């Protein structure tokens, strides 16, 4: 016994103080002895003991019970414990034990209970467990056990309680469990078990708790489960691959308290007879295929009125339609969670909900509810979470919400709410999430809102019509992680106090009218990942401190009036994560941003000397250049003439024809970006960069010219759109914005406007950034559009790709920016439909433009690329049932944010590809709108994912 004590390294509570030679061991704390003074029990649960389990405890040959649960024992379970042949109860739960379950323990033939839960045990459950003839309880949950459930488990005829949840067990449930006639608890959730559930498991009539959650089981629930398991009290089958209907026979299990069936593929209706389960406390069948989007789908609520003990009701993410029945008023007064989100429930929010005074979580989001937020919500004094997002609610945000002092999350985003943001919201001092985005709110944001120091998850007022300034009180939001005020009408400067929001990971202020400089204090936000200040009127330079934020992954400063040098460290080294387009006065930065060099600053003191020196240099350069030109012209007359164009490339290192022939595998088509057109000196992030050139004679003595462009590791966009590979929705939005930005640069930001003339699927670099190949920059527009000779000559040799070339080019019309816009519109349609404009499905007067236009706005799902839809479930798209490649599609549903995003993109594509040039959009507007659509969608999906994660 003292050896056991010696293995204890820490006893902060003095549990073993009495263990000394001055006191008889039978009087030691935790020790029980037989009349013969033999130690028969050692019980020191939750005594905060730390150390190892002494193998000397195996010498207590008369020990019947060993209970050391809830301590901090570490190391292995001693093999010597197998010598305790009289042991009946072993409880080592909630420690930090390592290693495998000793096989020697199976020698303890009198063992009735073994509790090893909540440790760090590894290995498998020994097959030898079948040698415990008297075992009644085996609990090994919350470890790191692997392997399968041993078939020998079926030999334990007295087994009543088996728990092995929260491990890494795999394989199937053995059929031998059918022999466990006394089994009442079978808990194996959160493992990797698979296959079908043995039908024999459902014949164990003594079963009261059956938990199979979070595995990979498939198949259906037996229709007679309620008759074969009449004593069932808790049934958990959630997070599996089960299908078929929910059996109405479950209503026969009259003792049922907990039914958890969410996240499967159950279909059909929710049985109305569940109301005959008087003890039902929790019911959750969310994220299935239940319902038919019709009025009868919610009849089960009327039945549940008889469940007077019901506390939680969850049926989210199904196909439930109709209106909430008035019988909702008769649900249990103890109901504290009511979740019908992500369905198609319509109509007003019923008045009967006001009877549910105990509600603390109310989720009606992502439905079709109309009308106003009911005034009786003010009665819900226990309410902690109110989610009403993505409905069609109207009216104002009621001021009474400020009286719900316990509210922690409020989300009424994506509705039709109007009016001002009530000041009373500032009284909700426990709010950690406030989302009022995508409504029609006006006025200024009350200062009281910015004093909600409890906000941590997110603060989102984006996509409204809010005006005014950001108050300095924004610095009170010290623990908020996401702040979004984008796409409003806010003015003024960004206050320096925003640097006090030390927990900010995402800040979105784009699409306003903010002025002034970017606060240098933003550089102190050291956990920032995403920052978007685009589409404002910000001036001044980029604070150098932004490059020191090591966590920054996305930075968008585009379309402002920034000037000066762009930093070259941190996030600024990742051209795919930074956007500064639309700021004409920025310079330097990394080469991939393709910005001009910054001018060299000169001091005032040397001004006159510099001017004189400059004059001398310029005169010298002119004289030398003139002499060189005369000499060059003389030499050219004596040599074979070579066509124009190479002089613009004189600053590149030339390569020979031989080297180029070898390096491109004989000019393999795989390495050919294109042919024809000419190269330029235009630089932009979304234009392919020229590396070098070759001007020589080929093997037949003919003139040969080639440009060598930077390598595009991901090939062409066409290969991605029309092969087994797939692009996600976010990737497609990025590519669309990249190409639009490149064309916008050519059309409007170059000193002389340039028309591409051959826009088609672009090249993708290693970061999936799209680049427009500048070999096709075929025409420089004259600044004098009235010069008829220039206009006429610009039509000579027009080239384009069939399907992408605008119709007017075929009629000899002059090239124009509008022609590029048409080609871009066709490309945009191809990106999001996955269909080539030259597909055989288009003919007899129908083209890809007409095909998509006919589907707007109510049938866009029918024209979208199904591979995109089914591959981006995490980006706001939900797929129900089957899919692509031989698996049948039953139904696919777009969330409101995803639908709005895709609808807006298709409308832009159609607006670009109209027949008449004068009706087409401008590339400047296209680029700005696409960037806005992309950033808004990314923001909404990231907030949605974070919100769902926080809510579990």
Q: DSSP label at 467?
A: B
Give the residue among 48, 55, 43 at the shortest CA–CA distance from 10.
Answer: 48
Concatenating the DSSP letter of every residue in 243-259 gives: EEEPPGGGGG-TT--EE
In sequence order, what are the residues at sequence separation of 6 or more whose Cβ sits closer than 8 angstroms to the Cβ of residue 84?
57, 58, 60, 61, 63, 66, 108
Q: What angle do CA 602, 607, 613 make, to 5 degrees?
A: 95
User: Are 149 and 130 a contacting pair, CB within 8 Å?
Assistant: no
How many residues are listed for the chain in this entry? 952
How would you classify residue 367: left for phi > 0, otherwise alpha for psi between -120 and 50, otherwise beta?
beta
CA–CA separation, 93 and 95 (whole Å)? 6
Cα(first)–Cα(last) distance of the chain, in Å?
47
Nearest Cα to Cα of residue 147 among 101, 183, 97, 201? 101
Catalytic residue among 435, 484, 758, 765: 758
Cβ neighbours of residue 92 closer than 8 Å, sequence gap 6 or more: 53, 66, 68, 69, 73, 77, 115, 116, 119
Closest CA to 137 of 186, 177, 96, 201: 186
Alpha carbon distance 52, 275 (integer Å) = 53
CA gap 52, 78 in Å, rounded: 9
Under 8 Å between Cβ of 556 and 528? no
CA distance 523 to 541: 13
| Biggest distance spanned by C-alpha atoms of the chain | 125
Residue 122 DSSP SS3: strand
What is the three-class DSSP state of 238? coil
Q: 8-10 and 50-52: which strand pairing?
A: antiparallel
- Contact yes or no for 251/225 (Cβ under 8 A): no
State the Cα–Cα distance between residues 177 and 131, nearest whole angstrom: 15
Instruction: Classify 210 as helix, strand or coil.
Output: strand
Residue 321 near residue 297 (C-beta atoms within 8 A): yes
Measured distance CA(660)–CA(662) in Å, rounded? 5
- Quote the CA–CA distance of 324 and 340 in Å, as a whole number: 10
Strands 770-771 and 763-764: antiparallel
The tokens for 386 are 């109110």
The whole-angstrom separation of Cα 259 and Cα 542 is 57
Question: In 10 A of CB 394, how many CB atoms?
Answer: 15
* DSSP string covering 369-409: EESPPPGGGGG-TT--EEE--SS---SBPPGGGGG-TT--E
The Cα–Cα gap between 360 and 338 comes to 9
**β 703-709/690-697 pair status:** antiparallel
Partners of 562 in beta bridges:
540
What is the C-alpha separation between 824 and 830, in angstroms, rounded? 10
Instruction: Please report the sign of the dihedral spanned by the C-alpha atoms of residue 905, residue 909, residue 912, residue 914.
Output: negative
CA distance 420 to 797: 59
| DSSP secondary structure code for residue 540 in this structure | E
758 is catalytic: yes
> So which residues are the catalytic ones?
758
């Amino acid at each position: 016994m003292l050896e056991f004590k010696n293995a204890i390294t820490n006893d902060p509570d003095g549990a073993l103080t009495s263990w000394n030679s001055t006191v008889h061991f039978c009087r030691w704390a935790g020790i029980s002895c037989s009349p013969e003074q033999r130690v028969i029990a050692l019980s020191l649960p939750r005594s905060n003991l730390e150390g190892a389990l002494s193998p000397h405890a195996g010498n207590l040959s008369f020990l019947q019970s060993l209970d050391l649960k809830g301590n901090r024992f570490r190391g292995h379970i001693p093999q010597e414990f197998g010598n305790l042949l009289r042991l009946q109860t072993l409880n080592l739960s909630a420690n930090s034990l390592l290693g495998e379950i000793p096989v020697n323990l199976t020698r303890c033939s009198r063992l009735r209970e073994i509790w090893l839960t909540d440790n760090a045990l590894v290995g498998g459950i020994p097959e030898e467990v079948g040698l415990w003839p008297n075992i009644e309880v085996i609990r090994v949950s919350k470890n790191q056990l692997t392997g399968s459930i041993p078939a020998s488990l079926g030999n334990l005829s007295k087994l009543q309680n088996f728990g092995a949840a929260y491990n890494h067990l795999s394989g199937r449930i053995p059929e031998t469990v059918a022999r466990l006639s006394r089994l009442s608890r079978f808990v194996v959730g959160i493992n990797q078990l698979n296959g079908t559930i043995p039908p024999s498991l459902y014949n164990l009539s003594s079963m009261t708790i059956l938990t199979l959650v979070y595995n990979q089981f498939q198949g259906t629930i037996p229709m007679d489960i309620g008759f074969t398991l009449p004593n069932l009290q808790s049934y958990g089958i959630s997070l599996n691959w089960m299908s078929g209907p929910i059996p109405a026979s479950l209503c026969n299990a009259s003792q049922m308290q907990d039914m958890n069936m969410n996240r499967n593929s159950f279909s059909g209706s929710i049985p109305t007879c569940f109301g005959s389960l008087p003890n039902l406390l929790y019911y959750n069948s969310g994220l299935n295929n239940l319902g038919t989007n019709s009025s009868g789908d919610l009849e089960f609520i009327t039945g549940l009125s008889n469940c007077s003990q019901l506390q939680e009701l969850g049926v989210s993410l199904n196909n439930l339609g109709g209106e909430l029945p008035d019988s909702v008023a008769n649900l249990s007064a103890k109901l504290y969670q009511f979740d019908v989100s992500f369905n198609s429930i319509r109509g007003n929010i019923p008045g009967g909900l006001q009877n549910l005074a105990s509600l603390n979580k109310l989720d009606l989001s992502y439905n079709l509810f109309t009308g106003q937020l009911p005034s009786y919500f003010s009665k819900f004094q226990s309410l902690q979470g109110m989610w009403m997002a993505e409905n069609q609610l109207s009216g104002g945000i009621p001021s009474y919400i400020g009286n719900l002092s316990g509210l922690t999350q409020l989300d009424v985003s994506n509705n039709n709410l109007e009016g001002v943001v009530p000041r009373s919201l500032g009284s909700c001092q426990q709010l950690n999430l406030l989302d009022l985005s995508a409504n029609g709110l006006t006025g200024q944001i009350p200062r009281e809102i910015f004093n909600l120091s409890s906000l941590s998850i997110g603060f989102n007022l984006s996509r409204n019509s809010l005006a005014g300034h950001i108050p300095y009180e924004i610095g009170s939001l010290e623990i908020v992680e996401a702040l979004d005020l984008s796409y409003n009408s806010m003015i003024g400067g960004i206050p320096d106090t925003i640097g006090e929001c030390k927990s900010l990971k995402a800040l979105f202020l784009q699409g306003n009218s903010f002025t002034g400089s970017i606060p240098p204090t933003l550089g102190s936000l050291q956990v920032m990942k995403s920052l978007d200040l685009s589409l404002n009127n910000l001036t001044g330079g980029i604070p150098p401190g932004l490059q020191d934020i090591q966590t920054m992954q996305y930075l968008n400063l585009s379309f402002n009036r920034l000037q000066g040098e762009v930093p070259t460290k941190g996030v600024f080294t990742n051209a795919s994560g930074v956007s500064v387009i639309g700021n004409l006065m920025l310079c330097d930065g990394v080469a991939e941003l393709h910005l001009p060099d910054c001018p060299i600053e000169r001091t005032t003191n040397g001004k006159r000397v510099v001017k004189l020196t400059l004059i001398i240099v310029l005169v010298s350069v002119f004289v030398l250049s003139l002499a060189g030109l005369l000499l060059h012209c003389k030499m050219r007359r004596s040599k074979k003439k070579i066509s124009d164009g190479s002089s613009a490339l004189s600053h590149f290192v030339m390569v020979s024809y031989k080297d180029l022939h070898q390096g491109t595998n004989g000019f393999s088509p795989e390495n050919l970006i294109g042919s024809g057109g000419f190269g330029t000196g235009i630089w932009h992030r979304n234009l392919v960069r020229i590396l070098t050139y070759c001007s020589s004679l080929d093997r037949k003595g003919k003139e040969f010219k080639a440009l060598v462009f930077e390598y595009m590791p991901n090939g062409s966009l066409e290969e991605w759109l029309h092969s087994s590979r797939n692009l996600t929705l976010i990737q497609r939005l990025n590519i669309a914005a990249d190409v639009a930005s490149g064309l916008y640069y050519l059309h409007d930001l170059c000193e002389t406007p340039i028309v591409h003339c051959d826009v088609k699927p672009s090249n993708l670099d290693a970061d999936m950034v799209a680049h427009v190949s500048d070999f096709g920059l075929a025409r420089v527009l004259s600044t004098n559009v009235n010069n008829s000779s220039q206009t006429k000559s610009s039509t000579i040799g027009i080239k384009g790709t069939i399907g992408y070339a605008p119709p007017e080019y075929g009629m000899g019309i002059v090239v124009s920016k509008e022609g590029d816009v048409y080609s871009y519109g066709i490309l945009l349609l191809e990106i999001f439909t996955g269909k080539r404009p030259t597909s055989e499905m288009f003919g007899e007067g129908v083209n890809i433009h007409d095909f998509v236009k006919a589907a707007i706005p109510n049938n866009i799902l029918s024209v979208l690329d199904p591979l995109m839809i089914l591959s981006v479930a995490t980006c706001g798209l939900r797929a129900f049932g089957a899919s692509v490649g031989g698996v049948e599609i039953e139904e696919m549903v777009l969330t409101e944010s995803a639908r709005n995003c895709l609808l807006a993109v298709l409308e832009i594509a159609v607006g670009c590809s109209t027949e008449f040039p004068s009706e087409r959009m401008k590339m400047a507007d296209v680029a700005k709108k696409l960037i806005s659509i992309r950033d808004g969608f990314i923001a909404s999906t990231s907030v949605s994912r974070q919100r769902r994660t926080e809510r579990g």
